[in-house]
Each structure stands twice: as structure tokens, then as C-alpha cells.
Homo-oligomer: A and B are copies of this chain.
Amino acid sequence: MRRVITLENNVKRELPEDVMNDMKLKPFASSELGHPEIQRTAPVVRVTTGQNKVVDSLEEVIKSNLKDGMTISFHHHFRNGDFAFNKVMDLIIKLGYKDLTLAPSSLTGVMNDKIIEAIKKGVITNITSSGMRGSLGDFVSHGGLKNPVIFRSHGNRARSIENGEIKIDVAFLGVPISDPAGNANGQEGNAVFGSLGYALMDAQYADKVVLLTDNIVPYPNTPASIKQDQVDYVVKVDQIGDPDKIGSGATRFTKDPKELKIAQMVNQVIVNSPYFKDGFSFQTGSGGAALAVTRYLRQSMLDNNITASFAVGGITKPTVDLLEEGLVRKVMDVQDFDKGAALSMAQNRNQQEIDASWYADPHNKGAVVNNLDVSILSALQIDTNFNVNVMTGSDGVIRGAVGGHQDSAAGAKMTIITAPLVRGRNATVVPSVETVVTPGESIDVLVTERGVAVNPKRQDLIDAFSKVPGLTLVSIEDLQKMAEKQVGVPKPLEYTDRTVAIVEYRDGSVIDVIKEVKD
């Protein structure tokens, strides 16, 4: 058996020294990042007068711009309604390219088959992404990709693009509307997804920017989220996306009593925290509990005559409703999770599109997440040190995404994790998470249906919540024991020595690695 030399980072994860050295990585130290001075990078721009960049042949664009070994990027704003990715990747595979690095903002299920095909054919040999799920996560977890995937948060991707750690050679960006010069947004057309937030990084920093669209309108198209001076080509395609699969068409309000109970408790936690006052700010997610939180929070705001200064993050219709109702003053919008939020961007001047750097970059002069009071985030697992896993399942297989989790947790004054104590036969609250994504030092409160656990470092919150009638405060160790009592102690998972993925912290340090699952 090969002997593996490891070094331990500050969340007590063993990192393989050979991989760390080969990839020139440093171990995670702290969520406090200080004040480094960062030399940013910039693209090489091929000059053109650029009135009409419309081309028919995507193949010609690829052939005249892509070389083996290059880095290509995509955005994931179309989610499972994406027709751009497979169209491009089909051609790249057909043309026989090798050793490409795939560096999208994230990957969605609809891309999985094509990526696996590209990996098997040697077309893609490196991937960096926010996450992956389904067959691709399974494939990578079973050692399908030669080199480790690098998982980066949305803020970390922005940071890495800005400082050159990710150098995008060609960005392929699908948009629902563009003019012939490349002025484009995500707000009009058939396949509307709203904010182009993540893709704005690619448009600014890639050497070559290729737009794909089914909707070319007369010049000038405004508002121009992507601007003509950033774009090399506009490729006309028959259909760029399936509007029905871009986001959930309508907002589901959960009827699951467990989710409703958690949402109510989250609302109690917020309302009784020192942050619930006029001008407070929050980020919620898109799950059933998160939507329910927004509803309860709305009532609390009305009852207490309190309005929020802003909401940020992946935006949903209920959040936009708060904006229109005057309960939220601004929506800072890096991504829209449903059609209602996407469509409202064109109507609401106060729904401000923000790019990934503005949203969450840890290495700039200030991101929106740093101004957050309350962030409500989810977890696949959380351990008794409050470390959170949103990346691997209880079987050790990759099935998640960092998203903005690390960023929002680091920035917010109070980060609340919502999670059921157990999911099926698996504990959510565990002695030690399979994969640390967000360090416990960034997490303040865990809300489960069995009670609320506050991070011991937040004695101020413990004091505040102790006085609240009906709010059950428990230690996280007790929650872990309750979970264990329900589902028992699982057999430890078995992994090989091989590292299949690196989970970076938002500053580029390594917070954990993911090993090949043995089965």
C-alpha cells in the first residue's frame, strides 16, 4: 500500500501533500483574509470596429479560436433549460480537441452526458466549477476524470478570474437577446433568465467572447449587461434555451410540516436577533423552507413596521414581491431562480443586476455579502464544529455545489443553517462532515425541527434567544446525538487514496479534498 503524506488544515482536514505541492495549493487557514494587494490580470483583445459580429457557423468560430489545452467557459443561468452548452460541446468533441479545461460558473444536469463523453474522449481533462450533480458527480467520484476537479464558490471564481488563476481563452455565453454588435442581456426574449451576474465575469475577462442567441435585435440593444466592446462573435442558433426548464415556473410553498416548522423557527431567530431592525438585509435560498421563511419574515416585517435595505443572492418571486410591496428597498441580483424573478428585472429599477465579483468576491474592495446582516443557507451535513457540507452526499458521492455558501456565510453578521435533523436514513447533524465546504467559524446558528443550536462563540445570540418563549435552544452535540438515535451510527465510508476533487475556500486555499469512493 502506498503511503500518503498529509498535512492538516485549520478545520482538521488531512490534505495529501503530493497533490498540494503539484497544484501549488495552500491549506485553509482562516475566513479572515486581511488586506493583501492583488495585481489583477486582463484579457488580450483583438481589435475590430465590430458593427456586425453575427456569424452562422459556430464550427468556424471554434476552429479559428480554440486550441488544444485551452480553457473554455460557460454560464449556468439557463440551468436545465440550457441548449448552448451541448451545442458547443458537440462540435468541440466532433472537431477532436484535446486537453481542454472546462471552467463554467457551474454545471447543471442537462450537461452531464456530454461532459462525460468529452472526458472519456480526452477532450476535457480538467474541470473547475461551483458544483456538479447526478451522473457527472457519480462519474467523477468514481475516478472518471484524470485530474482533480477544483470546486470554487461564486466569489472565489470571480477572484480566480480576476487574478489569473482561471485564464479563460474562449467563453461561450448563451443569451436570450443580443444585437449584431453583442450588446446583450438576460431580460428579454424567449428564454429569459434575468440576471447575467456570473457570466459578466467571463465577458470581462475572457480573451474571446462568443455569444449564442436565437434572438438578434436591431442595434443598439439596451440595457446591455454584456457590452459590445467585450464581444467577438454573435452566433445565431435556432433555440438557445427551454424557457420551461430555466427556473421553476411558479413558486412552490412547502406544505411539509417539518419544513414549515423550521421556517417558523428561522423567522423567530431572525426577529429576536439584534439584526432585526429597520434597514436590515438578508439572503435566502430557493428551497421550500427558504421560501416559507420569506413568507413568515414578510409578516414579521409588517407586524413590526420594519423594512429591509436589501435582499441579495439567487432571487425568487417572493423576494421580488417584497420589493414591489416596499418591504425591501433594493434587490441585489446575481441570479434569478424562477421565472417571476427573471421577468421582473426588466420592470424594476430597484432590482439591480450585480456581477459575481460585486456579489461575493473576497479579494476586491468590498462585496455585497459583506454588508449582509442575515444569511439563511442550507446543508447536506453539518458537524458538531458547525462545519457545513453542501458538496457530497452521505455516500461520499459529489452531488452539490459550493455556490455562494462560503461567501455569504463569511460576509453575513448572522449565518443560519436550516436543515432537517435526518434525511431518510441519514443523519444531517453528524460528528464530522464528509466534506468541509464552509468552516464552522462562519456559521452562527443551526435550525432543525428539533431545536436551535447556536455556535458557542456567539454568546450574545444565546443570551438573546434564551429569552424567547417557544424557541428550543439545544447544543449541537445534543442534536447530533438525537440524529444518531434516530438513524444509528453509519458504517464509515470507504475511499481510495486518490483525490478526485479539491474544495477550495473562497481565498483559493484548500478547505478539503474529495477522495474516490470505493465500491
Check A224 for interface membership: any CB of B closer than 8 A.
Answer: yes
CB closest residue in chain B, given A222: B352
Interface flags, A354-384, vs B, CB<8A=1, else 0: 1001100111111110110000000000000
A181 near B366: Cβ-Cβ < 8 Å: yes
A43 to chain B: which residues have CB within 8 Å?
Answer: 40
B219 near A366: Cβ-Cβ < 8 Å: no
A332 to chain B: which residues have CB within 8 Å?
Answer: 220, 222
CB closest residue in chain B, given A204: B204
A209 to chain B: which residues have CB within 8 Å?
Answer: 365
A330 to chain B: which residues have CB within 8 Å?
Answer: 220, 222
B39 near A228: Cβ-Cβ < 8 Å: no
CB distance from A188 to the nearest CB of B (A): 12
Check A274 for interface membership: any CB of B closer than 8 A.
Answer: no
Contact among B40, B182, B358, B367 for A365, CB-based, below 8 A: B182
Contact among B34, B218, B367, B371 for A309, CB-based, below 8 A: B218
* CA of A365 to CA of B50, assembled, Å: 6
A46 near B42: Cβ-Cβ < 8 Å: no
A350 to chain B: which residues have CB within 8 Å?
Answer: 222
* CA of A357 to CA of B362, assembled, Å: 27
Check A223 for interface membership: any CB of B closer than 8 A.
Answer: yes
CB distance from A339 to the nearest CB of B (A): 21
CB distance from A226 to the nearest CB of B (A): 11
* CA of A181 to CA of B218, assembled, Å: 37
Contact residues, A20-68 vs B (CB, 8 A)? 33-51, 53
Check A455 for interface membership: any CB of B closer than 8 A.
Answer: no
A368 to chain B: which residues have CB within 8 Å?
Answer: 220, 228
* CA of A367 to CA of B228, assembled, Å: 7
A45 near B49: Cβ-Cβ < 8 Å: no
A457 to chain B: which residues have CB within 8 Å?
Answer: none
Check A337 for interface membership: any CB of B closer than 8 A.
Answer: no
Check A279 for interface membership: any CB of B closer than 8 A.
Answer: yes
Contact residues, A402-420 vs B (CB, 8 A)? 411
B47 near A38: Cβ-Cβ < 8 Å: yes
A45 to chain B: which residues have CB within 8 Å?
Answer: 37-38, 40, 162, 363-365
A365 near B228: Cβ-Cβ < 8 Å: yes
A349 near B228: Cβ-Cβ < 8 Å: no
A181 near B371: Cβ-Cβ < 8 Å: yes
* CA of A108 to CA of B406, assembled, Å: 47
B219 near A48: Cβ-Cβ < 8 Å: no
Identify the stretch in A133-141, A229-237, A423-431, A497-505 within 8 Å (CB) of chain B at 4 or more residues: A229-237
Check A151 for interface membership: any CB of B closer than 8 A.
Answer: no
Q: A47-B365, A229-B357 are in contact. Are A219 and B42 (CB under 8 A)?
A: no
A370 to chain B: which residues have CB within 8 Å?
Answer: 49-51
B223 near A349: Cβ-Cβ < 8 Å: yes
Check A227 for interface membership: any CB of B closer than 8 A.
Answer: yes
Can you report 12 A-B residue pairs in the complex whose CB atoms are below 8 A from each other? A35-B46, A38-B46, A40-B42, A48-B365, A49-B366, A50-B365, A50-B366, A50-B367, A220-B310, A224-B352, A229-B367, A349-B349
On A, residues with C-beta under 8 Å from B are 33-51, 53, 162, 181-182, 209, 218-220, 222-224, 227-232, 279, 309-310, 330, 332, 349-350, 352, 354, 357-358, 361-368, 370-371, 411
Give 10 new A-B contacts, CB below 8 A, not counting A37-B47, A227-B358. Answer: A36-B47, A37-B46, A38-B45, A38-B46, A40-B43, A42-B162, A47-B364, A50-B365, A220-B368, A222-B330
What 7 pairs between A and B have smallest CB-CB spacing? Answer: A50-B366, A40-B42, A229-B364, A222-B352, A42-B42, A49-B370, A228-B366
